[in-house]
Amino acid sequence: MKLAFKLVTITLLLTTQLTSQNKPNVLLIVLDDLNDYIGVLGGHPQAKTPHIDQLAKEGVLFTNAHSNVPVCSPSRASFMNGILPTTSKNWGFDNWLKNEMLINSKSLPEYFRDNGYTSYQSGKVFHTAKKGAWDEMGAVAEYGPLAYNGKKAALHPSCPKAMGTLGPLDATFASLADIPDVAATKEASGHKGWWNTNWKTNTAFHYKDDSDRDLMTDEKSTAWFAKKIKTLEDAESNTPFFISLGFIRPHTPLVVPQKYFDRFPVSEVQIPVYKKNDRSDTKLQENTLGKEPRGRTAFRTLTSAYSSEERAMQAYLQAYLASVSFADDRVGEALSTLEKSKYKDNTIVVLFSDHGYNMGEKEYLFKYCLWEESTRVPLIIKSPNHIQNAGKTVDHPVSLVDIYPTLQDLCKLQGSTVLNEKGARLDGFSLQPFLENPNTNKWEGPDVALTVVSSWKSKKANEQHLAVRSKDFRYIHYANGSEELYDHKNDPYEWNNVASKSNYKSIKTNLKHQLFDIVKVPNKKTTLEVTPMEKDKKLANEKWKDTYFKENPKADTNKDGILTWQEYKIHKNQ
């Protein structure tokens, strides 16, 4: 009996080890404020991102991927929990850890841990980390270094004084070699040199030259990652890992070593293609409660400090392109570490940015708006089980909330994604069908990607500033009812708002319907206008859905007597 018990125990242990070994590891690389300025997306002709481009050749590139809320904290709270901001109502600058729905849902690292993984992170992944979510944390997220006045962070002397209204973080763009020397004032003693201003690392940043200096956060993260992989190899660990590296650049301050600035001589920097007075047909200004949008303030204060808009943008873009190149080198270091390890053939790599960034288009220099440059993000997934599609692209609109269910599928994660009844089920849809066939028509997600920006005057999801991006169009619906519509087939730069054009009426109505269907607010004020062929197809689909509704009445989750396609898809996936 004892011998039999021992044999069973040994068999169970071996089975557990084999199961663990067969589970894929995950490396999640999250970049900060990176728009489409990478080689494979062609956002800027001078962008130098060979390592990200190489990853795109080895994985599947989603060319129409979008952030669900284009600012750091709520974006990360959304994709790390798999819940849309319109569901959680976390779309502004509130601390997501105080959001009842989000805090009672399982974040990605928690869900992976429940499935036998060890979770690690370094740098900036969550905007504020959830206590206990990670088994181990690496480098602390330090945005700087910044200039210092003896008491706190200060505006770099080389940067426009007018930009000081934005604060040192967003107003600083300078090479590390440009050592700040802040003069003394009545309030502070002044200081020469760089400074770490994170509350955990409020210390001087040593810099003599590029070869004799402290490491920046992103460099610390790749060094930590190399050590962690070696430690796991040396321990011959059979436990699968979920590791997330959060690279801060190209988030402001745009401060990186001089060699990256040297890659982009300022006089040779090409500024984006602009249309004069492009903001005239936009509706953002009338929806900001009488305040100048931060992006407009940034653009105005930057350009007013130079002899021309072109020179101003060249100076800023040099720093941004340098920061992108710096971040790409860190991506290259991490991928090189993985490639040289025993885990290279059993690790899923996912790379993306939390949101994009407007570079002066529509006289806007910031994020947190609903135009293409701020919502569109790079998204690359390299899956060992889908190498047959390496180098392929997907142009179907998807969003960051889809990453959670994709990893759930790829890693065959089991169990509930909520901690209790106060949490919420996943809003996104698995991208695995696109990895299996980039041209598939079997994806169960929506035909549009949703983005939300706070209106600051309501807590209702349907009263925020909302946008959806389809394959060919962008539709924006502001809280006051004003609209923007852009035809990307004929207007890739979003120069012409055609929302009021009669020949676009049916398209606008259709997109509006899809938008409010996702937000779960019935759009009863409009009737879809479709062609006879589309009408026949729609009637057939609706008839089929009605049949499903009769057989599954519980699919109507909000009990309004109407089964939306979103409700159908959620119920079908349960």
pLDDT digits (tens, 9 = 90+) for 90-115: 999 999 999 999 999 999 999 999 99
Q: What pLDDT was estimated at residue 8? A: 43
Q: Is the pLDDT of residue 301 over 90?
A: yes
Any idea how long the chain is? 574
Q: What pLDDT was estimated at residue 197? A: 82
> What are 460's two structure tokens?
């209702």
Q: Is the pLDDT of residue 248 over 60?
A: yes
Task: Compute the distance between CA of residue 538 and CA of residue 449 in angstroms, rounded to an integer.
Answer: 21
Task: Compute the distance between CA of residue 72 and CA of residue 513 in angstroms, rounded to an integer.
Answer: 28
Question: Are 459 and 439 within 8 A, CB to CB?
Answer: no
Confidence of residue 536 (pLDDT cuts 50, 70, 90): very low
* DSSP structure class, residue 379: E
Q: Which residues fall within 8 angstroms of residue 165, CB to CB, at 6 or more apart?
A: 171, 297, 301
Mean pLDDT of 499-503: 98
- Please identify which residue in the block is written with the tokens 């050590």: 227
Q: Which of 116-120, 126-130, 296-300, 525-529 is predicted least confidently?
A: 525-529
* pLDDT top residue among 375 and 525: 375
> What are 495's two structure tokens?
């120069």
The strand pairing partners of 484, in sequence order, are: 476
Coil, helix or strand at residue 52 = helix
Q: Give the tens place of pLDDT for each residue, 304-329.
A: 999 999 999 999 999 999 999 999 99
Q: What pLDDT was estimated at residue 237? A: 86
Neighbours of 379 (CB within 10 A): 27
Q: Give the tens place of pLDDT for each residue, 5-27.
A: 444 444 444 444 434 458 999 99
Confidence of residue 414 (pLDDT cuts 50, 70, 90): very high
The DSSP code sequence of 176-228 is: TTS--EEPP-SS---EESEEE-STT--EEE-EEETTEEPPPHHHHHHHHHHHH
Question: Are 512 and 526 within 8 A, CB to CB?
Answer: yes
Of 281, 430, 284, which is closest to residue 366 (Cα–Cα)? Answer: 284
Q: Which residues of 43-56 are buried (b: 16+ CB within 10 A; e: fewer)?
A: bbeebbbebbbbbb
Of 454, 347, 363, 259, which is closest to residue 59 (Cα–Cα)? Answer: 347
Question: Are 173 and 253 within 8 A, CB to CB?
Answer: yes
Confidence of residue 554 (pLDDT cuts 50, 70, 90): confident
Coil, helix or strand at residue 267 = helix
Q: What pLDDT was estimated at residue 531? A: 38
Of 105, 137, 110, 108, which is closest to residue 121 (Cα–Cα)? Answer: 137
Q: Which of 44, 51, 66, 72 is catalytic?
A: 72
Q: What pLDDT was estimated at residue 47? A: 98
Q: What pLDDT was estimated at residue 434? A: 98
Q: What pLDDT was estimated at residue 533? A: 42
Q: Give the tens place of pLDDT for each residue, 48-85.
A: 999 999 999 999 999 999 999 999 999 999 999 999 99
Q: Which of 49-53, 516-520, 567-571 is predicted least confidently?
A: 567-571
User: CATH second-level architecture of 27-141+216-446?
Assistant: 3-Layer(aba) Sandwich (3.40)
> What are 309's two structure tokens?
């808009």
Burial class (CB in 10 A: 0-12, 13-18, 19+), 413: buried
> What are 116's two structure tokens?
């036998």
Coil, helix or strand at residue 238 = coil
Of 218, 219, 236, 217, which is closest to residue 341 (Cα–Cα)? Answer: 236
Whole-number mean pLDDT of the chain? Answer: 91
Q: Which of 51, 127, 156, 251 is catalytic?
A: 127
Q: What pLDDT was estimated at residue 543? A: 59
Q: What pLDDT was estimated at residue 382? A: 98
Task: Compute the distance between CA of residue 218 and CA of residue 216 in angstroms, rounded to an integer.
Answer: 6
Q: What pLDDT was estimated at residue 547? A: 74
Q: Give the tens place of pLDDT for each residue, 151-195.
A: 999 999 999 999 999 999 999 999 999 999 999 999 999 999 999
Q: Which of 195-199, 470-474, 505-509, 519-523 is predicted least confidently?
A: 519-523
* DSSP structure class, residue 236: T
Task: Compute the distance between CA of residue 94 and CA of residue 78 in angstroms, rounded to an integer.
Answer: 13
- The greatest distance separating any two alpha carbons of the chain, rounded to the nearest whole angstrom, comes to 89
Annotation says 72 is catalytic: yes
Q: Domain ranges for the chain, please list them.
A: 27-141+216-446, 147-204, 532-572
Mean pLDDT of 531-545: 49
Q: Give the tens place of pLDDT for each residue, 422-463.
A: 999 999 999 999 999 999 999 999 999 999 999 999 999 999
Task: Compute the distance between CA of residue 31 and CA of residue 54 in angstroms, rounded to an integer.
Answer: 16
Task: Compute the distance between CA of residue 246 and CA of residue 127 in angstroms, rounded to an integer.
Answer: 10
Annotation says 513 is catalytic: no
Q: What pLDDT was estimated at residue 93? A: 92
Q: Give the tens place of pLDDT for each residue, 194-209.
A: 999 876 678 999 999 9
φ and ψ at 83, to 5 degrees?
-125, 130
Confidence of residue 33 (pLDDT cuts 50, 70, 90): very high
Coil, helix or strand at residue 485 = strand
Q: Is the pLDDT of residue 332 over 80?
A: yes
Residue type for position 426? L
556 alpha carbon, distance to own chain's centre: 31
Task: Compute the distance between CA of residue 424 and CA of residue 402 in angstroms, rounded to an integer.
Answer: 15
Q: What pLDDT was estimated at residue 569? A: 63
Q: What pLDDT was estimated at residue 521? A: 54
Of 441, 445, 448, 443, which is closest to residue 511 (Cα–Cα)? Answer: 448
Q: What pLDDT was estimated at residue 555? A: 77
47 alpha carbon, distance to own chain's centre: 19
